[in-house]
Amino acid sequence: MKFAVLVFPGSNCDLDMYHAIKDELGEEVEYVWHDEQDLSAYDGILVPGGFSYGDYLRCGAMANQSNVMSEVKKAAEAGKPVLGVCNGFQILTEAGLLPGALLRNKKLKFMCKNVDLKVANNNTMFTNQYAQDEVISIPIAHGEGNYYCDGETLKQLQDNNQIVFTYSGENPNGSLADIAGIVNERGNVLGMMPHPERAISEVIGGAEGLALFKSIVKQWRESNVNQA
């Protein structure tokens, strides 16, 4: 499986994402600059965290205007897995690929620590290697991770089982309904604030994020076998 790691001016988690795929997962991966206009060669798209364009205007708003985002939308429409982490989640909401918005943390402070997440839906291409309701420890590092949507959208997320991760115990940023990660209706676009790419080896404090990437590869391989 071949992954693209998008790189915007101000991205700072692209290295972590690349390392997770190449060195821990053992799959192909390339950095893709934000002005790229063709992502057809890639099987999966990864939108990393950081501070794209300095987080000016709104987080992710300027990145959404980059050439590559039209290609990300095409990849999503084609059913390819698209993962946005932290600033990547913010970019995906700005692009309309996921509903809702990310607001300032409730305490108005940048937070950087490990948090407990519950796998609220393990029946997705991103979570099939987890157990339902499994609690995992994943790092966060954000100032605007407070997920918000209107009541109608929240009901749709709940009814369609699109809430994939919720904060377990402490809700660090005030997110509505403890939401930490959601998928689109089709289930191939995931946005999450915690950083699974920073939890892929016991050497760096834990490997509970690696199963997310393994889930993507498993689903992709099964899909290709079925198509063959």
Active site residue 152: no
| The predicted structure's pLDDT at residue 223 | 87
Degrees to nearest 5, angle at CA 98 with 49 and 52 = 25
Domain ranges of the chain: 2-227
What pLDDT, in 10s, does the model give residues 59-110? 999 999 999 999 999 999 999 999 999 999 999 999 999 999 999 999 999 9
Which one has a higher pLDDT value, 227 or 211? 211
Out of 27, 71, 144, 197, the active site residue is: 197
| The predicted structure's pLDDT at residue 58 | 85
Active site residue 195: yes
| pLDDT band per the 50, 70, 90 thresholds, residue 228 | low
Tallying the residues shown for the chain, one arrives at 228
Residue 183: strand pairing partners: 190
As a whole number, the mean pLDDT across the chain is 96
| The predicted structure's pLDDT at residue 224 | 84
Pairing assessment for the beta strands 101-103 and 189-192 based on DSSP bridges: unpaired
Share of the chain above pLDDT 90, in %: 92
Neighbours of 161 (CB within 10 A): 14
Query: What mean pLDDT do residues 172-180 have?
Result: 98
Q: Which ranges of 67-172 would DSSP assign to H, the alpha helix?
A: 68-77, 87-94, 151-159
| The predicted structure's pLDDT at residue 57 | 80
The reply to whether CATH 3.40.50.880 applies to domain 2-227 is yes
pLDDT for residue 55 is more than 90: no
Out of 86, 142, 149, 208, the active site residue is: 86
What pLDDT, in 10s, does the model give residues 14-50? 999 999 999 999 999 999 999 999 999 999 999 999 9
pLDDT for residue 200 is more than 80: yes
Strands annotated E in the chain: 2-7, 28-33, 44-47, 82-85, 101-103, 111-119, 135-142, 146-148, 163-167, 179-183, 189-192
Query: What mean pLDDT do residues 188-208 have?
Result: 96
Out of 19, 142, 195, 208, the active site residue is: 195
Query: What mean pLDDT do residues 219-223 have?
Result: 92
Active site residue 59: no
